[in-house]
Structure 1
Amino acid sequence: MAFNIGLSGLRAATSDLNITGNNIANAGTAGFKQSRAEFADVYAASVLGTGANPQGSGVLLSNVSQLFNQGNINYTQNALDLAINGNGFFVTSNGGDIGYTRAGYFGTDRQGYVVNNFGYRLQGYTVDANGNLQNGVVGDLRVETTNQAPKASTKLEQAFNLNSTNTTPTVTPFDPQEPTSYNSSTSVNIYDTQGNAHVFTQYFVKTGENTWDMHVLVDGRNPGAPGSDAPYTMQLQFNADGSLNTAGMAAGGPLNYDPATGLMNLDNWVPAASDGGTPPVWSPNGANASPTGISIDIRSSSQYASTFAVNRVSQDGYTTGQLAGLEIDDTGVIFARYTNGQSKVQGQVVLANFANVQGLTPTGKTGWVQSFESGEPVIGTPRSGTLGALQAGALEDSNVELSDQLVNLIVAQRNYQANAKTIETESTITQTIINLR
């Protein structure tokens, strides 16, 4: 029996060496989780039990468990490298074969799909044709690499302060080429349907106590008739406390005004372009304005005794843009940044967790698949529930501690030698018996 006991010990020590060696070999593998050999003793048994003083029959490898403790986060230069800080696994698809991994080597393939270094597609919540995130719809994440289409301006919001101490200009009538004919001015770009930028300029002329004229030109031309330089005019009135009196505003030209809302609307703008001549000739450029016009909101403006200033300005149009880069936040939302200053959601990475992560079946390539023992995956976004946070531009290092593994090598080697000595001793005893005469 001692031969079998010693042989089982050699097998156990060999398994221990194999597992330790595999841990050491993967000490530099991102997302790798070390394994541990777990042994159990063996006793011979009969239908009546083992008896009061059973004699052991050796050792067996009862289990190889995986240790899923957190590895260190190592920052890289790749924006699509991802690390999980906490619980969860990335979900990947290899032609429909779903797998799970902690290794976050990700990039894009020629079709724009986000894939790992084996070509498996990263899974997440996708977006619809309008760029809206489809929560609950898990699919292949894809980055739209084509140019972003331009968007015509539909609204303009401003908050400015007109200096109440200004006096009425002595030069009349208003002339944009004559600075003494107006008190102050400001400009902002607006966009047509082809993404062409046009300069929307407002000139403010004080006409009396708490009253002003706002003259509007686009590219220095009449917004509705590019062949003319006559501005659109809006009459502004302010209250005694300096706030804008929207009820007292009145349109002095084709600039549409809704007294119920206090909003203006530029609804007949004709985008134009110059022929570059001297003098230049302006004509329609072939593009259109937004079919709904441009809503102009200046309701937060004021008239105080301080210098003219634009406190806030925003408009929603933009020109065409090329993909400039990607950003992923800690909840897994993928943002594409474009050269026109815009950003667009491309999807959201999801993570999976299991009731028994020890039950996952390792398949190699730093991946696992679901098993009966692991249970069903729980899918969610990073930072939701018990799922960890996502760190972009980083990788999770292997959780192998080399110092521990080197000690394990010494222990496994000692165990192997000791079990070999058991066999050697049994062989000597047996030879002694054989040599009896």
Structure 2
Amino acid sequence: MPFDIALSGINAASSDLEVTANNIANVNTVGFKGSRAEFSQVYSVAGENLSATAAGSGVRVTNIAQQFGDGTLTQTGNSYDFGISGAGFFTLRDGAGYSYSRAGNFHPDDNGNVVNATGQHVQVYPPIAGGTGFDISSLSDLKITTGSAPAKPSVNIGLTANLSSSATAPTGGAFDPTNANTYNSFSTFQAYDSLGATHQVNVYYVKNATTPNTWDVHMTMDGTAVGGTQQMAFSSGGAITTPAGGKLNFGAASPNPGAAPINLTLDMNKVTQFGDASATTAVTNDGNPSGKFSKIDVAKDGTVNAIYSNGATIPLGQLAIATFSNNQGLRQLNDTNWVPSSESGQPIRGVANSGDVGVVQSGQLESSNTADLTAQLVNMIKAQRNYQANAQVISTDDKLTQTIINIRN
């Protein structure tokens, strides 16, 4: 009996060594989750026949339990590296179906699909066509669109400026944009048409000779007048009072026959009339030219945006993060992947940074959660000594048996 008990101890220690060795071997594996050997005592009889003084019959491995604690997130600077701080798994797809992983070291393939090292496609919730947000009821491959972003025509222009309260009406005659003696100051900016072409826009300010705190405003585009003369008026405190709402519109202009007409609304609410010199300090413009793909940006909620050279942002999807009722029940596959089982339950689709789902960290990778080599080496030494101790029991039992044989002889 001692021989069998010690043999079970050797087998258990051997399993413990195997688990620890695997943990150590994967210390540099991205997204790896370590395991722990769990044991229970064995008796030769059970139930009502078990004596209160029974010594037991050894030990057995009852489970190799996966440990799903977070690994350390390490900054990489690669925008295609994703880490999850907290609960959740990336959803991946290949010919065999869906699998789930914590390893977020991805890259775009030749077709623009974002994949892992084995070619599995990263899954996202696709953008809602013609709307905002994402459709979390369906999955699609994350694909990088590297073409040009279309131009966006300018519509709303915001001006921040001051018109000097001490200015006097010009005396150079009727307004002429080519004659600086016919206006007091001007603001200049570029507007974009529907094809992305740029057009020079000047807004001229002429102090009204008859009405106090009033300015005549003219606009040209590429040197050609747009619309007629409009007026701005200010209160005694220097705030704009006319036009109502503080916005001017000179009507449509067509400087580019191949593009749609440009119709600008000028928001003048940040134009003042103080004693300082006349100056334009800022211009906002909601238009932009066409642009080339620059990079991707991933938000904490998993939203993936394509960023273009013109500043345009186009949503590509939202990372599909899955959680499970029981991570311990997940079935391990190669390449740091898992698939659900009856014990884990089916994947629960979630959104990062919401509810119990963790936060997506862009440009970071999750290290193995066995990276604490000191703890792993301690476990290895303990397993080794358990193995040696049980081997010594077998040796001792063998000597005792030999002694009995010698007595009988």
CA distance in 1, matches of 2:280, 2:359: 40
CA distance in 2, matches of 1:382, 1:37: 32
> In the alignment, does 2:378 pair up with 1:377?
no
Deviating more after overlay: 121-130 vs 332-341: 121-130
Cα-to-partner distance string for 1:53-82 (whole Å, 9 max, x where unaligned): 223211100111122222212111311211
CA distance in 1, matches of 2:234, 2:380: 85
CA distance in 2, matches of 1:385, 1:137: 17
Cα-to-partner distance string for 1:58-116 (whole Å, 9 max, x where unaligned): 11001111222222121113112111122222222224622221111022222322222
1:335 CA drift (Å): 2.3
CA distance in 1, matches of 2:110, 2:82: 20
Contact kept in structure 2, 1:161 and 1:307, CA below 8 Å:
yes
Q: How many residues get paired? A: 404
**Alpha carbons of 1:64 and 1:349: their partners in 2 closer, same or farther (altered >3 Å)?**
same
Q: 2:238 aligns with which of 221, 239, 242?
A: 242
Structure 1 equivalent of residue 314 of structure 2: 344
CA distance in 2, matches of 1:379, 1:175: 65
Q: 2:249 aligns with which of 234, 242, 265?
A: 265
Structure 1 equivalent of residue 398 of structure 2: 427
1:119 CA drift (Å): 1.8
* Percentage of identical aligned residues: 41
Contact kept in structure 1, 2:252 and 2:264, CA below 8 Å:
no
1:344 CA drift (Å): 2.3
Contact kept in structure 2, 1:331 and 1:383, CA below 8 Å:
yes
Structure 2 equivalent of residue 255 of structure 1: none
Structure 1 equivalent of residue 274 of structure 2: 304
Structure 1 equivalent of residue 204 of structure 2: 203
**Alpha carbons of 1:46 and 1:167: their partners in 2 closer, same or farther (altered >3 Å)?**
closer
**Alpha carbons of 1:195 and 1:126: their partners in 2 closer, same or farther (altered >3 Å)?**
same
Q: TM-score, normalised by structure 1?
A: 0.85
1:429 CA drift (Å): 3.6
Cα-to-partner distance string for 1:316-348 (whole Å, 9 max, x where unaligned): 221110011122122222222211122222222
CA distance in 1, matches of 2:286, 2:131: 16
Deviating more after overlay: 298-307 vs 55-64: 298-307
Contact kept in structure 2, 1:39 and 1:60, CA below 8 Å:
yes
Q: How does 1:17-416 map to 2 (within 5 A)?
A: 17-45=17-45, 48-95=48-95, 97-130=97-130, 132-139=132-139, 140-208=141-209, 209-223=212-226, 232-246=228-242, 263-272=247-256, 284=257, 286-289=258-261, 293-310=263-280, 312-400=282-370, 401-416=372-387
CA distance in 2, matches of 1:178, 1:196: 27
1:377 CA drift (Å): 3.0
1:421 CA drift (Å): 2.3
Alpha-carbon RMSD: 2.3
Contact kept in structure 2, 1:89 and 1:101, CA below 8 Å:
yes
1:373 CA drift (Å): 1.7
Contact kept in structure 2, 1:91 and 1:100, CA below 8 Å:
yes
1:431 CA drift (Å): 4.0
Deviating more after overlay: 313-322 vs 106-115: 106-115
Contact kept in structure 2, 1:32 and 1:366, CA below 8 Å:
yes
Deviating more after overlay: 235-244 vs 314-323: 235-244
5+ residue gaps in structure 1?
A: 224-230, 250-258, 273-283
1:239 CA drift (Å): 3.3
CA distance in 2, matches of 1:102, 1:186: 54
**Alpha carbons of 1:399 and 1:47: their partners in 2 closer, same or farther (altered >3 Å)?**
closer
CA distance in 1, matches of 2:131, 2:25: 44
**Alpha carbons of 1:267 and 1:111: their partners in 2 closer, same or farther (altered >3 Å)?**
farther
1:53 aligned counterpart, secondary structure: coil
CA distance in 2, matches of 1:267, 1:108: 46
One-letter identity of the residue aligned with 2:357: L
CA distance in 1, matches of 2:58, 2:89: 38
Contact kept in structure 1, 2:158 and 2:285, CA below 8 Å:
yes
CA distance in 1, matches of 2:10, 2:134: 56
1:237 CA drift (Å): 2.7
**Alpha carbons of 1:19 and 1:46: their partners in 2 closer, same or farther (altered >3 Å)?**
closer
One-letter identity of the residue aligned with 2:218: H
One-letter identity of the residue aligned with 1:337: I
